Amino acid sequence: MTLKPIQQTHSTCCYCGVGCGVRIASDGQRVLGIEGDEFHPANLGRLCTKGRTLPLTMTPTGRALYPEMRTDRRLPRQRVSWDEALDTVANRFADIIREHGRDSVAFYLSGQLLTEDYYVFNKMAKGLIGTNNIDTNSRLCMSSAVMGYKKAFGADAPPGNYEDLELADLLLIAGSNMAYAHPVLFRRIEAAKAADPSKRWIVVDPRRTDTAAMADLHLAINPGTDVALFNGLLHLLLWEGYADRRYIDAHTEGFEAVKDMVREYTPKLVADICGISDTDLITAAQWFGQAKAVTSLYSMGLNQSIQGTDKNLAVINLHLATGQMGRPGAGPFSLTGQPNAMGGREVGGMATMLAAHRDIQNPAHRSEMAAIWGVDYLSDTPGLSAVDMFDAIRRGQVKAVWIACTNPAHSMPEQALIAEALKTAEFVVVQEAFLDTDTVPFADVVLPATSWAEKEGTVTNSERRISRVRAAIAAPGETQGDWWIATQVAKRLEKHLTPFKMSRFAFDTPEAVFNEHRKTTEGMDLDITGLSYALLENQGPQQWPFPAGATTGLARRYSDGVFPTASGKASFHAVRHIGTADKTSARYPFHLITGRLRDQWHGMSRTGRVSQLLEHVAEACLSMNADDMARRGIQSGQLVKVANARGSILVPVEASAEVASGSVFLPMHWNAQFWSEPGANRLMPAKADPYSLQPELKHAAVRIDVVNLPWQCVAVRQGDVDELMQAIRPLLKQSRFASATLIGRENPALLVRFADESEPDGLINALDTAIHLHSSPETQDYLDPARQINKRGRWDAGRLTGFRLAGETKAADWLSDVIRQGGEWRWARLQAFAPRATPPDGSYQPAKTVCNCLGVSEATLKQSIAKGCSFEDLQQQHKCGTQCGSCVPEIKRMLQNAPRILQTA
């Protein structure tokens, strides 16, 4: 095949809501490289580890490449033609609608879809079928922020922009580990603080995250006590004379009720509720009151709560009371988690909203949209939001569900109920780029979708900036754009459901979809009638609103103090502390907090393919306070059972200085593709905020018990790691505990662990087959049947390329490290089978990689720190943190802990 010359395509990173611009190098068929786009206003050339490694995720294994279908759930799906798949979906939906009504079907979408994809789905559900049963995983992410903005300001979306984060002289960062979840934005505020050290950060988080460790003041509040904290801050701001009466009188309403309410939130009471000192509370209030410009930043820690809307409103109260609004560096700023949660909000792609920020229950708004779409009827019944939707499916009220670009079997709370719902549904359509997600096994039809670097459209980032997403390479297999798939089914459904002569879905390009979406925004707060693909092409990404005739988007909203409410004023809301859905008790004494890791994204369907990204944290692990562990006699590395009434999961535990006594932390990424468990959300309550309907995914009350599973097995194998991972997955359910991950940078390998009471029947044979570790002249075995010890190593050309240690695993870590380093074998082969934790020359030091871009290990950094190196010395010697910078907070934390490192060096 003759390759086309390397071409550069400007596009957008597909992970988080920062929305970094990228330049993709490709030959038209394969992605060859990636760089940050220095002209994109979000990132100015920077990328984090996730963005930088996107090309490594473009492997064909595990991709959904062809439409698949089954008519009998006992049988596997078979490849079918697009026509057969599309006809089947349209026919089954039409039949079910005819028999059971419009609301018997539902759509569950994703903040990772492009705006054009979302638009077509939303029009199909609301404008064609006539149901509002269309919700998205954005419900799990930022619907509390939407409700907060709407209730306070009358309209959705952040008032400010990314520059405000740099201009603020105080940042209040609440419920957000920005250093991990929004790394490039974090780099920007880090640089701003380095340039002007008088800038202050207050971080509110129960955990001492990397973000919290860099704060001037860390308020480590008890989980779920944010509203009490913000009310306590407001109490102090008012009573210490920091209120801006002029702003309050001119631009707000509802102040007196809030003033009365916060009277009871005295510093003493708030300090008790939150578990912080009243001195810290007073300091925080003084800093807030004295700052010229305050920006508050918040994300899942506030939103994923039964009080998510109240938490947002309580932060906004602080800004309204002090006039910290609409000026450079001042305002409340919600950080969206997903790359296009904002775009989804713009097209109204949720059960509770209509296109262009219109309301379902507003008759004028329904009429406007009915006229634009040329239909007589738009339902005034709010649709089912995520939790209620799957509940309705489980109860048989909703018969068919179409899931696109998301993985509810992993991401929803109380996962057992979601599995039950998907088994109960009469018809499940899954539109996906990847086959290896926890939801795909439930699909009757799989519709294969294009993915990053293959798609065309637009996304909107956290600062209301619309960027183009462009295809750099040809769509693999028979994959199609999500907008195209939805359009094809909508055209077929029209024939069943409407008497129209002309199709309302005559879209032939994403640009045609964008142009219709643009029309729906005319006269609305997000008016983008001045935008076009051509303008985005010529002038680059733009913020909305951008009405016809404008030459630029609006950088900052509400600068004039006029809000899109009936009175033109913003509203205070008197919100009271309630706490978490689960309360700790003698039976469930620990707060389980969930969150994100630096180098992983959501359910790991992309990032879990890149061994380099797993070098920082390789496996699911429960972080627990060292004192709590000592009191309960728990050792780091032991398996524990984390349990509550909703279920239990087995996971290794490690001591962590990040979590307070009484709390434990579990990352939300791991799922049944990498683990014997379905993930942390098995334990989360299916309880939601009453306004935003966002479930509480951040907190559950649990108990922790040590589990003794004496039979252990660890295997590592080099080779095609995608293929090895696929082969190992069916075995992850064959022992009580199992975990599969990738290790190594230049020499990637699969690492798999099992633990059980005793050796499960047939597991070792099945494992050897899956990882190609059959007995051969290249292998050597060690057997001790009486002690259930069965070990095998494999050497190719003098290098260790795989091993399996069953029954005794002390050498597993250093043998893994040998393979990670390239497999060079310097010892007698039998040494591999000795029960020893270090190699014969004692050279092994357990170490994770801290700087993933340049492969700098924790051990290397500790050695240099022990010699007295400063941060600048470390950067000069090892270049760590000089590429994407994601590791900088961790290196700085290591330096803060230098006295301890010196003691242990």
Q: Is 472 in the site for ligand SF4 (CB under 6 A)?
A: no
Cβ proximity to ligand SF4, 303 vs 340, nearer residue: 340
- Give me the amino acid identity at 385: S
664: helix, strand or coil:
strand
Among 15, 247, 333, 507, binds ligand SF4 (CB under 6 A): 15
Q: In whole angstroms, how close is the CB of 16 to ligand SF4 at the nearest point?
A: 3
Write down how long the chain is: 905
Cβ proximity to ligand SF4, 453 vs 693, nearer residue: 453
Cis before residue 545, ω within 30 degrees of 0?
A: yes
State phi, psi for 602 to the nearest 5 degrees: 45, -125
d(CA 481, CA 519): 22
Q: Is 390 in the site for ligand SF4 (CB under 6 A)?
A: no
Tokens 């692990």 — which residue?
Answer: 621
d(CA 394, CA 832): 52
DSSP string, 108-152: EE-TTS-HHHHHHHHIIIIIII----EEEGGGGTTHHHHHHHHHH
Q: In whole angstroms, how close is the CB of 184 to ligand SF4 at the nearest point?
A: 4
Cβ proximity to ligand SF4, 13 vs 306, nearer residue: 13
Quick one: tokens of 785? 């049947």
β-sheet bridge partners, residue 780: 793
Tokens 């702003």 — which residue?
Answer: 247
Q: Sign of torsion, CA 723 726 732 734?
A: negative
| 478 CB-near residues (< 8 Å, 6+ apart) | 65, 66, 67, 82, 448
Is there a contact between 410 and 140 (Cβ–Cβ < 8 Å)? no
Q: In whole angstroms, how close is the CB of 182 to ligand SF4 at the nearest point?
A: 6
Among 24, 47, 141, 767, binds ligand SF4 (CB under 6 A): 47
Q: In whole angstroms, how close is the CB of 178 to ligand SF4 at the nearest point?
A: 10
Among 9, 10, 11, 20, binds ligand SF4 (CB under 6 A): 20
Q: In whole angstroms, how close is the CB of 19 to ligand SF4 at the nearest point?
A: 6
Is there a contact between 783 and 790 (Cβ–Cβ < 8 Å)? yes
* Residue range at the interface with ligand SF4 (CB under 6 A); choices 47-55, 474-482, 691-699, 820-828: 47-55
Write the Ramachandran bin of 823: left for phi over 0, alpha for psi from -120 to 50, otherwise beta: left
| 388 CB-near residues (< 8 Å, 6+ apart) | 693
Is there a contact between 212 and 205 (Cβ–Cβ < 8 Å)? yes
**Sequence-ordered alpha helix ranges (H) in 771-882:** 812-820, 858-866, 871-878
The HSE-up count of residue 47 (CA atoms within 13 Å, CB side) is 25
Cβ proximity to ligand SF4, 14 vs 728, nearer residue: 14
d(CA 146, CA 148): 5
Cβ proximity to ligand SF4, 20 vs 157, nearer residue: 20
Is there a contact between 214 and 241 (Cβ–Cβ < 8 Å)? no
Residues from 170 through 199 that contact ligand SF4 (CB under 6 A): 182-184
Q: Is 300 in the site for ligand SF4 (CB under 6 A)?
A: no
Quick one: tokens of 426? 């009469």
Cβ proximity to ligand SF4, 139 vs 598, nearer residue: 598
Cβ proximity to ligand SF4, 617 vs 763, nearer residue: 617
Closest to 237 in 3D by CA, of 284, 177, 183: 284
d(CA 123, CA 119): 6
* Residue range at the interface with ligand SF4 (CB under 6 A); choices 44-52, 224-232, 275-283, 284-292: 44-52
* Residue range at the interface with ligand SF4 (CB under 6 A); choices 11-19, 342-350, 520-528, 819-827: 11-19
Cβ proximity to ligand SF4, 11 vs 676, nearer residue: 11
Q: In whole angstroms, how close is the CB of 238 to ligand SF4 at the nearest point?
A: 37
Residues from 51 through 90 that contact ligand SF4 (CB under 6 A): 51
The CB-nearest residue to ligand SF4 is 51
* Residue range at the interface with ligand SF4 (CB under 6 A); choices 18-26, 153-161, 269-277, 495-503: 18-26
Query: How many chain residues touch ligand SF4 (CB under 6 A)?
Result: 14
Q: In whole angstroms, how close is the CB of 760 to ligand SF4 at the nearest point?
A: 39
Q: Is 13 in the site for ligand SF4 (CB under 6 A)?
A: yes
Cβ proximity to ligand SF4, 169 vs 599, nearer residue: 599
Is there a contact between 180 and 210 (Cβ–Cβ < 8 Å)? yes
Q: In whole angstroms, how close is the CB of 193 to ligand SF4 at the nearest point?
A: 18
Q: Is 412 in the site for ligand SF4 (CB under 6 A)?
A: no
Among 9, 10, 11, 16, binds ligand SF4 (CB under 6 A): 16
Q: Is 50 in the site for ligand SF4 (CB under 6 A)?
A: yes
Q: Is 18 in the site for ligand SF4 (CB under 6 A)?
A: yes
State phi, psi for 904 to the nearest 5 degrees: -95, -10
Q: In whole angstroms, how close is the CB of 720 to ligand SF4 at the nearest point?
A: 26
Q: Which residues bind ligand SF4 (CB under 6 A)?
A: 13, 15-16, 18-20, 43, 47-48, 50-51, 182-184
